[in-house]
């Protein structure tokens, strides 16, 4: 079966750094996406990785290791507005996205 695992909830402090992990087992791999979803809102795109390594975009970075079936999203200089759920999704061999349940990130002052 196909499976995406990520922690249910994490807590971090404003100004700090947090790493959200995602492990996956899917039938085929055509890229990994991270989305942000604020409570009651739609998911919005954060990053895409298809090759191993780190992709940096401002305060957010995403890492991929295809051999380990592993990715992480790194958020630096945390702000209160970063309180949201972070969704990991893998595009499988049929070009369909398989979604994790999301990690709820709580930022404390």
Partner 1 sequence: NAGVTQTPKFRVLKTGQSMTLLCAQDMNHEYMYWYRQDPGMGLRLIHYSVGEGTTAKGEVPDGYNVSRLKKQNFLLGLESAAPSQTSVYFCASSSAAGGADEQFFGPGTRLTVL
Cβ-based burial of 66 (10 A; exposed 0-12, middle 13-18, buried ≥19): middle
In angstroms, rounded to a whole number, what is the distance separating the alpha carbons of residues 82 and 1? 32
Sketch the per residue contact string, 20 through 59, with partner 1: x for CB under 8 A, - otherwise: ----------xx-x-------xxxxx--x-x---------
Among the residue ranges 12-20, 62-70, 73-81, 98-106, the one whose residues contact partner 1 (CB under 8 A): 98-106
How many CB atoms sit inside 10 A of residue 46's CB?
16
**Three-state secondary-structure class, residue 95:** coil
Q: Which residue has the tokens 């295809």?
A: 66
- In angstroms, give the least distance from the CB of 76 to partner 1: 22
Q: Closer to partner 1 at the Cβ: 1 or 109?
A: 1
Binding region for partner 1 (CB under 8 A) = 4, 8, 30-31, 33, 41-45, 48, 50, 87, 89, 91, 95-102
């Amino acid at each position: 079966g196909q499976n995406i695992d990520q922690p249910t909830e994490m807590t971090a402090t404003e100004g700090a750094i947090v790493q959200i992990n995602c492990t996956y087992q899917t039938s085929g791999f055509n890229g990994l996406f991270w989305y942000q979803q604020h409570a009651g809102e739609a998911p919005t795109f954060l990053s895409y990785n298809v090759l191993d390594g780190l992709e940096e975009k401002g305060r957010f970075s995403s890492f991929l290791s295809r051999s380990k079936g592993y990715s992480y999203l790194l958020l630096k200089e945390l702000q209160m507005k970063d309180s949201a759920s972070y969704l990991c999704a893998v595009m499988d061999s049929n070009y369909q996205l398989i979604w994790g349940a999301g990690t709820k990130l709580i930022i404390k002052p």
